[in-house]
Chain A
């Protein structure tokens, strides 16, 4: 994984299907380097995935037949407070599956210059929080451990 500490969040794109949050894309920039990373819910719904790619993603790159793809541009969405903030720390909540003991990602947390942000699964859909991170993690059932690299 390429480090994203020090990058500034330029855009956030949200992918939703009928009130079910499925994916979040973050376009980030540091100096002249631009990249994006994506958080999305796994097919089985229980874990989340993290992926990176060079360059920024546009809404048209993500377009789908049935999903609603929204670029977060103003304060209508709570995610807007992440825009223009700098990522200062990234942590991955890693745990093991019950059956195969595979290492999987259950939580993703970033700290920015202004906020802490937690992305997690809520059953089989994505969810995030700025304010209730500790409360949510207190009810963890996954037995995760925070790691810096994934």
Chain B
């Protein structure tokens, strides 16, 4: 619970949040409520925030206690639902009330929505002058651009300042007001930009990270589309697939043309491969194993298939049947995962190969259910929709370990999927190490906001790990761990047990001797 204190004779506001920092309810106490603690808002959630129920429940009156009786008054128009766009910008809020219209005052001809607020935004979030609406005598809606909460009290301008969690943002400037806490990781960037200056196709997640927003609809046949892959930095469109149709629940995937770029380990383009039609009409076409589509290419232009069979060798990526070109005969096994659910890790690569990691998604775990979109080595993920953030990461290596990475991202930066047990954050360790990040003083507790920042940092490091190592943490003879996992983003560390329980977080820890003694098990 966090609280905002007013001055003498004013009101104190209490925010009740869940473990992730989402506001669940708001209470007020003070002059506006006659001194009684009063619930004023209940936030409504589905898979994301839906809106707010405005209430005025005196929780000190005892009416809520079990055994008391009384009438319940239900009022329409106090429940606000937000209508937002792909950036989560709250454009319109409507209430649960519908307004009837009648021509003759007898028969209701139709109903219209009860619009409470409406706003339009410039790309960086400033509200467009003259394009704001707030119904008279109705409470304002506290969320706005990117779905973030407006701090209207600070600048006396609606939407003039927003709280992104890690930082405060001024949409009129298009800049955050403080330095990016992750600025050490991005030395080529100014520490103040919003959403990496890409506010159209992505949002700033928490003041520390740009998140692409690209999505489609599931379960529909899509025609006349263009798929665009991005380079590993997500900054330059690379590759495309055009034409054809994709059908879910039956795996129809016909493509007229494609261009697949490939990259070296530094992410530089080394060429590409264009081709003709790729066509599947049903899952049976993929059955039997060994039917593969080549998609990864080696630096000499030799084809390697990274897409294996389906059916006979379910999910195995061409087990024994890497399709063409310089098929590394005798070394057919690749380790990869399917659907984010099953990971095949016991397969060995040949001596001249290096695997950096495959992530295959899009097939039901049993392979029998509705088949997700499936494109060569890539696939189109069910649920997340077409052209979603789902990543397809392929890594193929060639002779003398001159590996070439073909990294295709259906989506954009941030698409890389890290397969792991999930991080179960230890708040006590966040408190212990918060002073290292300049978030608190040694020996001080953390506010809900500070704790939220530390949780975001921990998740950021974990999700953006470029190296995972496994080894000893502490002294196993004295309470340490012999099988700890070290997640490094190249600068900081998250250390966890193998079951995902977080052991600790360390800043600027690349010199840590435990980390350096551990065995690298994954590298991006």
Interface segment, A73-81, A86-94, A124-132?
Answer: A124-132
Q: Which residue of B lies closest to A120 (CB)?
A: B475
B478 touches A20 (CB 8 A): no
Kindly list chain A residues whose C-beta atoms are within 8 Å of the C-beta of B507.
Answer: 44
Q: B422-444, CB under 8 A of A: which get 1 and which 0?
A: 00000011011101100000111
Contact of A59 with B by CB under 8 A: no
Kindly list chain B residues whose C-beta atoms are within 8 Å of the C-beta of A19.
Answer: 428
Kindly list chain B residues whose C-beta atoms are within 8 Å of the C-beta of A135.
Answer: 477
A141 and B478 in contact, given A17-B432, A44-B509, A65-B445 (Cβ under 8 angstroms): no
A45 touches B511 (CB 8 A): no
B504 touches A45 (CB 8 A): yes
- The listed residue (A20, A66, A122, A124) touching B506 by CB distance below 8 A is A124
B475 touches A127 (CB 8 A): yes
Contact of A64 with B by CB under 8 A: yes
Q: Which residue of A lies closest to B509 (CB)?
A: A44
Q: B491-524, CB under 8 A of A: which get 1 and which 0?
A: 0000100000001101111111110110000000
- The listed residue (B436, B443, B478, B509) touching A64 by CB distance below 8 A is B443
Interface bin, chain A: 20 to 34
Contact of B473 with A by CB under 8 A: yes
B513 touches A98 (CB 8 A): yes
Contact of A149 with B by CB under 8 A: no
Closest chain B CB from A135 CB (angstroms): 5
Closest chain B CB from A137 CB (angstroms): 9
Contact of A46 with B by CB under 8 A: yes
Inter-chain CA distance A105–B503, complex, in Å, is 23
Kindly list chain B residues whose C-beta atoms are within 8 Å of the C-beta of A55.
Answer: none
Contact of B490 with A by CB under 8 A: no
Inter-chain CA distance A139–B514, complex, in Å, is 12
Kindly list chain A residues whose C-beta atoms are within 8 Å of the C-beta of B443.
Answer: 64-67
Kindly list chain B residues whose C-beta atoms are within 8 Å of the C-beta of A54.
Answer: none
B436 touches A44 (CB 8 A): yes
B504 touches A123 (CB 8 A): yes
Inter-chain CA distance A66–B504, complex, in Å, is 18
Contact of A50 with B by CB under 8 A: no
Q: Which residue of A lies closest to B482 (CB)?
A: A139
A124 touches B504 (CB 8 A): yes
Most buried by B among A65, A121, A122, A123: A123
- The listed residue (B477, B495, B506, B508) touching A139 by CB distance below 8 A is B477
Q: Which residue of A lies closest to B442 (CB)?
A: A43
Kindly list chain A residues whose C-beta atoms are within 8 Å of the C-beta of B509.
Answer: 44, 46
Inter-chain CA distance A122–B474, complex, in Å, is 4
A122 and B513 in contact, given A43-B436, A65-B445, A66-B445 (Cβ under 8 angstroms): no
Closest chain A CB from B44 CB (angstroms): 35
A45 touches B433 (CB 8 A): yes
Q: B468-481, CB under 8 A of A: which get 1 and which 0?
A: 00001111111111
A139 touches B510 (CB 8 A): no
Kindly list chain B residues whose C-beta atoms are within 8 Å of the C-beta of A65.
Answer: 443-445
B478 touches A122 (CB 8 A): yes
Inter-chain CA distance A43–B511, complex, in Å, is 14
Q: Which residue of A lies closest to B484 (CB)?
A: A123
Q: Which residue of B lies closest to A63 (CB)?
A: B443
Kindly list chain A residues whose C-beta atoms are within 8 Å of the C-beta of B506.
Answer: 44-45, 124
Kindly list chain B residues whose C-beta atoms are within 8 Å of the C-beta of A66.
Answer: 431, 443-445
Q: Which residue of A lies closest to B504 (CB)?
A: A124
> What are the 4 closest A-B residue pairs judged by CB atoms, nearest first?
A123-B474, A99-B511, A64-B443, A122-B474
Which residues of A are at the interface with B, using a C-beta cutoff of 8 A?
17-20, 22, 43-46, 64-67, 97-100, 120-125, 127, 129, 132, 135-136, 139, 141-142
Beyond known contacts A122-B479, A132-B478: 15 more, CB 8 A cutoff: A17-B428, A19-B428, A65-B443, A66-B445, A121-B474, A123-B473, A123-B474, A124-B433, A124-B506, A127-B479, A129-B478, A139-B475, A139-B477, A141-B514, A141-B517
A-B contact pairs, 29 of them (CB 8 A): A19-B428, A20-B428, A20-B432, A22-B432, A43-B436, A43-B442, A44-B506, A44-B512, A45-B433, A46-B509, A46-B513, A46-B514, A65-B444, A66-B445, A67-B443, A121-B474, A123-B474, A123-B475, A123-B480, A123-B481, A123-B495, A123-B503, A124-B429, A124-B433, A127-B479, A136-B475, A139-B475, A139-B476, A139-B477
